[in-house]
Structure 1
Amino acid sequence: MTNTWLIYALGGGWGHLNRALSLGRIAAKERKVRIITNSPYALQINNEGCTVHWIPDKAGVSATCQQVREIILKTRYDRLIIDTFPRGLGGELADILPQLQPIPRILIHRDINPEYVTAKNLQYFVAEHYDTVIVPGDGEDLPLANLPNVRHTAPWLIRNAGELPDKISVRSHILKVDPDIKTILVCAAGKASELSLFTQLTLHLQQNFPECAVRILAANCPADIPDALWISHHPGMECLAAADVVVGGGGYNTVYECAALGVPLVAFAFERLYDRQAKRAKKAYTVNNIEEAIITVRKLLDHNLSVPSYINGATNAVHLI
């Protein structure tokens, strides 16, 4: 059997793919790592030494499930790692897992909606089909955290503290702002449907804080945003580290990256089918609308940033797997 890990990281946005890359880039130093994703951003990233199997996000549920089936059943690997969805995003793993040869199967248990856990009887399914469950920093009160094979790590981050580029360099060359000016970064890493809100927010921030530099970090330049305000850079964590205040959603990467970096996050808790952003966003400054966001940003601009020093749970997770 080849020394290869296969990571299942389906799901829209950056989150699942970024978490897979956080783990995979460390593991890839000693083995091959293959990642299955349908993230629309998969073609705009540094693959961090991993091989990325991209299933187009517009492929449809049936075609996506079929491609997943072919990859998992035909690829040679000795570890199967599933991010977030034990049965697969479309339920396809429920049929695939019983067909696999006996190799270690690891579930990455990020917080998910308890109603989904109950509806699909995931307690039994995970106990039956997974050897190890790793919780990457989302706490003890998770729906499956009572299983006997659960292991906890710190949050997984795509850069260790010592790997972050110099803050002044990022401001000058990536954000293209004066290093001495307070910088507000809007992190538009969620669904495409939320880009309009982030666009309006960016324009309002620029209007309300003329003494600051305002930038929006997004995969593609939003309509109505001047090119000078738009940043496209992966990993986004390097940009967050250079900001004085970040405004974004309550997703896994945005919340834990800002927490690790010591950068205050003003967070909108968006509705998700499986993820509970409102629960995670309690670690940040939660707001409900643009007006609240502007008021909160104003209060936070006097915040003095410290030099980042944190533990990257992805390193521990590689040893656990």
Structure 2
Amino acid sequence: MRGERWLLYALGGGLGHLTRAVALGRAARLRGHRVEVVTNSAFASGLALEAELGEGLVHRLSPELGKHTVRASFERLFARVSPEVLVVDTFPRGLGGELATLLPELKVRKVLVHRDLHPDYVERFGLARFVDTYDRLLLPGEPAPLAHHPRAVSTPPWLVRDVGELLDVPSARQALGVATSEEAVPVVAVLACGRPEEVDECIGLAAMLQRELGARAAVRLLAPSALTSVPEPLTWLRPWPALPLMRGIDVLVGAGGYNTVQEARATGTPLVAFARPRLYDRQALRLHASEQVSTFDAALARVSALLPTPSELRRERAAPSYVNGAHAAVRLIEGA
């Protein structure tokens, strides 16, 4: 089909909405579509999003803007882009309800990326009725409360890189700053993302793991945002996306957010995760019992148990094999 203009609404804290939008946008560009993304993620200012989608195609709103200002900004952007397709991530009425009265008036194909939402939120705002505004509901690889809707379709998880774009093990370990002389040393990566206090907690956890594991592991702190203080000799890296490095990571420590969990499972990377409290997202439901911890001591014990032995590290690892659901999502949107 001919290329269309798509506008992706990816408002919300953290990196989940934005990374999912980039995954969809990259897949749509391969099909000839022009994709623009609007986000208010506090992390967006420090990410090379234009390298993923193209110059001038990423619109960053301040996370401090109120509901009415966000709506006015979105209306101006919508008029300028004049999209043929609007994709809204997670929140059918907009993050703060700013799209509730606007969406029914928009004469474009409307698609909702439908993920798990707290049932109280679904009930309070009558989302079961409101989603009729959308031409298609896409479930990106996990259950959602309105999965029974007649226009709802499930896909595999959406990932920001296809399997062929991942670095091989030696290249990933090199990118993680692991010397060739440390080839028998496993890599433990701590993903520091989320609220400022959660990032600080991850820094403390990484420092503790490095101190307690000593020469048994190379601990790396992965944080997409600028950090003002990282205790020495902890190694801090700022990769985004982190998925290309996953084959070089032996144990991943993070939270139960969508991208962390789906990337770990797609690549077969052992995960140790905290279920962070969120207003809408229920991370504890996404995590398996074997993945979830609630204290530093429990995290240390789980990481220690998961560390491969030197002989296991020397064996050639099986390459991951996964299907990136973003491509199926694009085809479904084209046919909506």
Specify every segment of 5 or more residues in structure 2 that has no aligned partner in the other structure, as ranges. Answer: none
Structure 1 partner of 2:23: 22
Q: Please, which of 110, 130, 138 is the counterpart of residue 125 of structure 1?
A: 130
Structure 2 residue 205 is the aligned partner of structure 1 residue 204: no
Q: Please, which of 208, 217, 239 is the counterpart of residue 233 of structure 1?
A: 239
Structure 2 partner of 1:311: 323
Q: Secondary structure at the match of 2:69?
A: helix
Q: How far off its partner does 1:178 sit?
A: 2.7
**C-alpha distance in 2 between matches for 1:97 and 1:73:** 13
* Aligned 8 A contact 1:110 1:135 in 2: yes
Structure 1 partner of 2:139: 135
Q: Secondary structure at the match of 2:288?
A: helix
**Residues 180-223 of structure 1: CA deviation (Å, up to 9, x unaligned):** 12100001122222012101101110011112100111022352
**C-alpha distance in 2 between matches for 1:162 and 1:283:** 30
**C-alpha distance in 1 between matches for 2:39 and 2:141:** 22
**Residues 267-303 of structure 1: CA deviation (Å, up to 9, x unaligned):** 1000000001010012761000100000000111128
Q: Secondary structure at the match of 2:214?
A: coil
The letter for the 2-side match of 1:45 is: A
Structure 1 partner of 2:198: 194
- Please list, as runs of the form range in 1=range in 2, the aligned pairs for 1:275-294 lying within 5 A after superposition: 275-282=281-288, 285-294=291-300
The letter for the 1-side match of 2:76 is: E
* Aligned 8 A contact 2:167 2:245 in 1: no
Q: Please, which of 114, 118, 134 is the counterpart of residue 119 of structure 2?
A: 114
* Aligned 8 A contact 1:221 1:227 in 2: no
Structure 2 partner of 1:8: 9
* Aligned 8 A contact 1:65 1:90 in 2: no
Q: How far off its partner does 1:58 sit?
A: 2.8
Identity, in percent, stands at 41
Structure 2 partner of 1:153: 155
Q: Secondary structure at the match of 1:35?
A: strand
TM (norm. structure 2) is: 0.89
Q: How far off its partner does 1:225 sit?
A: 2.9
Q: Secondary structure at the match of 1:106?
A: strand
Which stretch of the first structure deviates more once superposed, 243-252 or 27-36?
27-36
Aligned residues: 316
**C-alpha distance in 2 between matches for 1:178 and 1:38:** 38
Give the root-mean-square deviation of aligned CA atoms. Answer: 1.8
* Aligned 8 A contact 2:165 2:244 in 1: no
Structure 1 partner of 2:177: 176
Specify every segment of 5 or more residues in structure 1 that has no aligned partner in the other structure, as ranges. Answer: none
**Residues 7-64 of structure 1: CA deviation (Å, up to 9, x unaligned):** 0000111110000000101101201000010112223124312411110223344322
**C-alpha distance in 1 between matches for 2:328 and 2:23:** 12
The letter for the 2-side match of 1:158 is: V
